């Protein structure tokens, strides 16, 4: 038991903090737990969770990808444009994932192939992708989407549960793979010590390239799950997403130095940070406090890691 608590110290502490937060809301704003607000919160968080799964792989591998928001925006537009051509939803989904994977592959080649710092590469691609989309679309929504696009052609109730189900299924598959599949363990090994991983027969460059491709594909899937919620596709839908997913992963216990992190922690981080905005509404507080509170939580999470390492050094 002690070993379990030590190993999952961050995840347990964040889960406890979230439980206390929910308890406070139950007393101060019980309407937060109504069926409609909870359903809206879960559906809204599903695309963020999918993108955060990919970001967990990136950070565990000791990398960073701040272009995910731009990838998300472009993939949403790609999904809308493909749907307008009359393509069936499986083709729309495949095309959207391939678009995201292609953008992720560009990042992967520059980082893994050329050895460039991931923060520099993804900062550059973030700006290039965002400004290119702005030039092409000029802020115009993708409108007049076919009926079969919104909620995957099902009713709203069924579509909402389908979106959430896809996100949870993906989380489960990746969580299992990271623990039980060699490719998943290679991500942890590369993030912990790339040279030691190489000596053990792992190819760190291939691992780094692969996680960027997966990140792009998951950004595409997240964009699709978000786009089907609306009648039009907003080309600016991904603005700020990079902060949301990176914050959720770090708050959930992933070490920015690589080699440590769990998808259960990421799930808790997504739920905790995603609850702040709706909670402020029900508490009749100013909405602009959301970013400040999120920033404080991130700072506390990173500080606790630093203090823990210092205490064990």
Task: Kindly report the CATH number assigned to the domain that includes residue 39.
Answer: 1.10.3470
pLDDT for residue 173 is more than 70: yes
Cα gap 112→175, rounded to integer Å: 24
200 burial via Cβ count (<10 Å: 0-12, 13-18, 19+): exposed
Does residue 269 fall inside a structural domain? yes
Q: For the chain, give the mean pLDDT.
A: 91
pLDDT for residue 159 is more than 80: yes
Write the Ramachandran bin of 251: left for phi over 0, alpha for psi from -120 to 50, otherwise beta.
Answer: alpha
Angle ∠(138,140,144) on CA atoms, nearest 5: 155
Look at 179 and 300; give whichever has higher pLDDT.
179
Token pair recorded at residue 167: 């996100």
76 burial via Cβ count (<10 Å: 0-12, 13-18, 19+): buried
Cβ 55 vs Cβ 49: under 8 Å: no
Residue pLDDT, tens place only, 20-59: 989 988 998 888 888 898 999 999 999 999 999 999 999 9
- Count of domains forming the chain: 1
Does residue 169 fall inside a structural domain? yes
Q: What is the model's pTM?
A: 0.94
8 burial via Cβ count (<10 Å: 0-12, 13-18, 19+): middle
Band (293; pLDDT cuts 50, 70, 90): confident
Backbone angles phi, psi at 27, to 5 degrees: -85, -45
pLDDT of residue 172: 97
Cβ 218 vs Cβ 51: under 8 Å: yes
Does residue 2 fall inside a structural domain? no
Cα gap 256→260, rounded to integer Å: 8
Does residue 34 fall inside a structural domain? yes
Q: Which of 43-52, 182-191, 284-293 is predicted least confidently?
A: 284-293
Does residue 1 fall inside a structural domain? no
Helix, coil or strand: residue 142:
strand
Does residue 43 fall inside a structural domain? yes
Does residue 25 fall inside a structural domain? yes
Q: Which helix (H) or strand (E) holds 75?
A: helix 68-84
Band (160; pLDDT cuts 50, 70, 90): very high
Does residue 267 fall inside a structural domain? yes
Cβ 280 vs Cβ 33: under 8 Å: no
Token pair recorded at residue 154: 């099902």
Q: 122 is in which domain, residue-wise? A: 8-255+262-311
């Amino acid at each position: 038991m002690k070993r379990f608590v030590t190993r999952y110290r961050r995840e347990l502490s964040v889960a406890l903090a979230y439980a206390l937060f929910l308890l406070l809301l139950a007393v101060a704003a019980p309407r937060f737990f109504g069926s409609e607000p909870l359903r809206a919160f879960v559906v809204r968080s599903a695309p963020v969770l999918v993108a955060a799964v990919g970001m967990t792989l990136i950070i565990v591998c000791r990398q960073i990808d701040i272009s995910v928001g731009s990838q998300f925006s472009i993939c949403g537009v790609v999904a809308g444009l493909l749907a307008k051509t009359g393509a069936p939803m499986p083709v729309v989904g495949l095309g959207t994932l391939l678009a995201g994977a292609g953008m992720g592959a560009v990042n992967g080649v520059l980082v893994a192939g050329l050895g460039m710092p991931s923060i520099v590469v993804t900062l550059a691609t973030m700006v290039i992708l965002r400004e290119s989309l702005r030039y092409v679309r000029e802020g115009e929504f993708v409108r007049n989407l076919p009926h079969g696009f919104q909620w995957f052609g099902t009713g709203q109730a069924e579509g909402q549960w389908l979106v959430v189900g896809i996100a949870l299924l993906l989380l489960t598959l990746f969580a299992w793979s990271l623990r039980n599949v060699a490719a998943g363990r290679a991500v942890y090994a590369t993030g912990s010590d790339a040279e030691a991983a190489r000596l053990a027969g792992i190819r760190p460059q291939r691992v780094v390239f692969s996680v960027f491709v997966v990140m792009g594909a998951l950004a595409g899937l997240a964009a699709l799950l978000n786009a089907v919620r609306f009648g039009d596709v907003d080309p600016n839908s991904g603005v700020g997403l990079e902060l949301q997913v990176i914050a959720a992963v770090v708050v959930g216990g992933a070490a920015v130095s690589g080699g440590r992190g769990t998808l259960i922690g990421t799930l808790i981080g997504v739920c905790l940070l995603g609850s702040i905005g709706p909670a402020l509404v029900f508490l009749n507080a100013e909405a602009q406090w959301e970013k400040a509170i999120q920033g404080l939580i991130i700072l506390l999470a990173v500080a606790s890691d630093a203090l823990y390492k210092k205490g064990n050094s």
